[in-house]
Amino acid sequence: MATEADNDSEVQEEFKPRGTVAFAAAFVVVLLLMWFSIYIIMLSRGTTI
């Protein structure tokens, strides 16, 4: 019968943070979208000299 410790080491050995990589990628995409939306606002206001 598998013990909790066996289960722990199994998860530990198999663990690849795929969800984290996807999460970080989504973060970067949202960041870029939001940054460029403000950049476009800036451009739309034109020069203010």
Partner 1 sequence: MLTDTTTTPVYELTKPDKKFIGWHIFFAVTALTIGSLFGPLQALEHAGVDLYPRLDFLFVEFNGVNSYYQGLTLHGVLNALIWTTFFITGFTTLVVIRGLKRPLAMPLLNRIGFWSMVAGLVVAAIPLLGNKATVLFTFYPPMQADNLFYIGLVLVVVGSWIEGWGFMLTLWRWRKENPDTKTPFIVLAAVINVVLWQVATLGVAVEILALILPLGFGWVSGIDPQLSRTFFWFTGHPLVYFWLLPAYISWYGMLPKQAGGKLFSDSLARLAFWLFLILSTPLGFHHQFVDPGVPAGWKYVHSLLTFGVGFPSLLTLFTVVASLEYAARKRGGKGLFGWIRALPWGDGSVTAQLLAGILFIFGGIGGVANASYNVNLVLHNTAWVPGHFHLTVASAVTLSFFGICYWLVPHITGKPLWRPQLALASSWIYFAGMLIFSNAMHTVGLLGAPRRVPLGLAPYVPSEWNGHLFRVAVGGSIMWVGLMLFVVVVAVTAFQRKRLPEGEHIDVPVAESLDDPNKAPAWLDRWKPWLIAMVVLIILAYGPQLIDQIAGIESTSPGFAP
Query: Cα–Cα distance between 26 and 20 in angstroms, integer?
Result: 10
CB of 36 to partner 1, least distance (A): 9
Structure tokens given for 12: 């530990």
What's phi and psi for 47, nearest 5 deg? Answer: -75, 150
Interface residues with partner 1 (CB under 8 A)? 7-8, 11-12, 15, 17-20, 22-24, 27, 30-31, 34-35, 38-39, 41-42, 45
Tell me the residue type at 40: I
Supply the minimum distance, in Å, between the C-beta of residue 3 and partner 1: 14
Nearest approach in angstroms of CB 12 to partner 1 is 6
